[in-house]
A and B are shown apart, each in its own frame.
Chain A
Amino acid sequence: MSLAFLIEQLLNGLQFGVMLFLMAAGLTLVFGVMGLINLAHGSLFMIGAFFCSWIGEVSGSFWVGLGGGLLAAALAGAVIEIVVIRRLYDRDHLDQVLATFALILILSEVTRWIFGDQPLYLDVPPLLAGALPLPGGGGYPIYRLAIIVVGLATAYGLYLLITRTRLGMRIRAGESDREMIGALGVDIRTLYTAIFALGAALAGLAGGMVGVLQSVQVGMGEPVLILAFVVIVIGGIGSVKGALVGSILVGLTDTLGRVFLPRLFALMLPTAEATAVGSALASVTIYLLMAAILVWRPRGLFPVGA
């Protein structure tokens, strides 16, 4: 096994991780501040991807499309918050799960109705096409590097937003004592809508970027949503820092598990069986990771308000 191979796989894990972070950040903020479980977060990911491809197609520029996808997701998030989510804050989690699950079905059908059943495929923008040579031979797709850069930059931007701005101060205040900041005269309703739209925009950004690598289709958000939940449980629900650490852990574990488990079993079993057993086990590694972390730290790595 060469060094270049290891570097490439680590980058793959990192890329997967930062993509998950963009999803998990919104999910964890919404839970941390509003105490809301939002299953429809995956739909916002999908909305971002669809609008990115559509606006990109119409305008002829991927970048305009990506911006449009982000805005569309933010707008959809704000509308959903005002129309539906706002009524759920005082309800218990089961009602929230039920209502946001209904939102998944509604948003999926509406998207199917507007954009059709067929998956859409986007091309990598020419600026980011091709591969960059890695030390020790081989190369790495520039587009995936760009995702890593955007993801990490967003994480830093979120850090600045939360620690340095007035909005961030309110978010932190909201996390530690919801009633108190209302009593202090902060307009809680607008704050909640803003946070929800922010989370939606991040999901939309992730959707737009991933759509280029994979395909854009109805239901693309739900597999990512499940992983994002694993991430926020690992990181500590409500903690953005936890979401970052958790998503990179999950990204690396999943990628490296998929690569190395079949190889590990190949030492003991014939190739065909080893690949079968290895790939089967690889699909559960992140859940094993989650279980192990919860045994060690029942409230996640960075528990909020502990």
Chain B
Amino acid sequence: MNRGLRSLTLGVAGLLAGLGGAQAEELKIGMITTLSGGGSSLGIDVRDGFLLAVKQAGAGDVEVLVEDDARKPDLAKQIADKFIQRDKVDILTGIIWSNLAMAVVPASVRQGVFYISPNAGPSALAGKGCHENYFNVAWQNDNLHEAMGGYVQSNGFKAPFILAPNYPAGKDALTGFKRYYKGTVSGEIYTKLGQKDYAAEIAQIREAKPDSIFFFLPGGMGIAFMKQYAQSGLDIPVFGPAFSFDQGILKAVGDAALGVKNTSQWSKDIDNPANKAFVDAFQAEYGRLPSLYASQGYDAANLILAAKAKAGGTGDAAAFRAALQEADFASVRGAFKFASNHHPIQDIYVREVVKEGEVLTNKIVGVGLTGHANAYVGDCKM
């Protein structure tokens, strides 16, 4: 009921704002994201970033419906069907998890709806399964892991231990890491998605005696892992994608995260006007520092708004698609364009977790990959 109420409120707010605006074509956006349970901080940040951009644009003719998928693929599918059939949305967005994206995206884009991904970017949707109506504004899943693979290799580590959950993005992660890390790994584990106890895995790491650890455990999984790792008495350098060391969860991880190097396509200290304005506005609006996910939600909304300004709306699908592909908006990441498979070409930074006063946060210490697209461009025939 809570969920229904929330989307109702948003809808009413959108309608009221719409009364004052110009009579342009209405744009209806359905956001399916994770707002409850272990992965909820991700979805909340995507939603807040997205809504901030819509609010800033003063776009009264844009209506955003938000529903919680509770990280359940079947629920996400139901919400998508409802959005498409009953609410007649033009655009879907918001999904955090790749297994949910696989349940929703292919069927939705086939029905003529646009899907703009602010997070999940499974390889299946970048390669053979790509679609003209599917755009990913965040990254292809492999990207951050590829950059970290290269970084670990170039910093002279010879035996990393790598682990990820057993689901599409987890496999993409380790594949991506090994695409740029050419040496041998001292161990490789796939854990259960949503697993909370990593005692058995930490014991395996201890036994393998690696010189570094690379892990991809998004959301609550990474928090649990880092907390348990900190108690294990092990002291091996940890590397990972930004997901487990981002603003939203650093407080929960605590000092155990200090000094960890992580890769990200965004950081709050990227020096450009759009980013500065975003960080300030987000803090002013929500009273907390934005995360990577918030930046992705913000960019997703701005991409849609820019395409709407150019093409008028989704009425002319071909024009709207072309406008999306142009990506004529000021990304908080700086330079941004789409590769031919509708995934970003962008720089991936290496950040380090530091303490600014009492607040744990990240600062950029280097660039992992420059102008990086993804490995699946060639497989995508649109």
Contact = CB atoms under 8 A, between A and B. Distances in A.
A156 interface: no
Given A213-B197, A276-B166, 5 more contacts: A117-B35, A119-B40, A141-B232, A262-B190, A276-B190
B203 interface: yes
Nearest to A256: B200
A119 B34 CA distance: 13
Interface stretch (B102-110, B223-231, B280-288, B344-352): B223-231
A142 B230 CA distance: 12
23 contacts: A1-B207, A2-B207, A5-B206, A5-B207, A8-B203, A12-B200, A119-B38, A121-B223, A121-B252, A123-B227, A123-B254, A124-B231, A138-B203, A138-B233, A139-B232, A141-B232, A144-B199, A213-B228, A214-B197, A215-B196, A218-B37, A259-B200, A280-B166
Interface in A5-20: 5, 8-9, 12, 15-16
A9 B205 CA distance: 12
A129 B231 contact: yes
A69 to B, nearest CB: 18
Given A141-B231, A259-B204, A117 B192 contact: no
Given A275-B188, A276-B190, A131 B37 contact: no
Contacts of A276: 166, 171, 190
Interface string A120-147: 0101100001110100001111111000
B36 A218 contact: yes
Given A217-B37, A218-B37, A9 B254 contact: no
A131 B36 contact: no
Contacts of A213: 196-197, 224, 227-228
Interface in B39-58: 40-41
Contacts of A38: none
Contacts of B204: 5, 259
B205 to A, nearest CB: 10
A255 B199 contact: yes
Given A124-B231, A275-B188, A16 B197 contact: yes
Q: Please name the 9 residue pairs, one residue from A and one from B, whose CB atoms are nearest each other, closest first.
A: A131-B233, A139-B233, A214-B196, A5-B207, A12-B199, A141-B231, A8-B203, A117-B36, A121-B252
A141 B228 contact: yes
B206 A138 contact: yes
> Interface size bucket, A side?
35 or more
Contacts of A258: 200
B177 to A, nearest CB: 12
Interface of A: 1-2, 4-5, 8-9, 12, 15-16, 112, 117-119, 121, 123-124, 129-131, 133, 138-144, 213-215, 217-219, 255, 258-259, 262, 271-272, 275-276, 279-280, 283
A283 B166 CA distance: 12
B17 interface: no
Nearest to B174: A272
B35 A141 contact: no
Given A139-B233, A143-B231, A276-B166, A262 B189 contact: yes
B119 to A, nearest CB: 18
Contacts of A117: 35-37, 40
B220 interface: yes
Contact of A283 (B36, B38, B192, B197): B192
Contact of B190 (A1, A143, A259, A279): A279
A215 B200 contact: no
A129 B223 CA distance: 17
Contacts of B206: 4-5, 8, 138
B7 interface: no
Contacts of A140: 233
Contact of A279 (B35, B191, B196, B234): B191
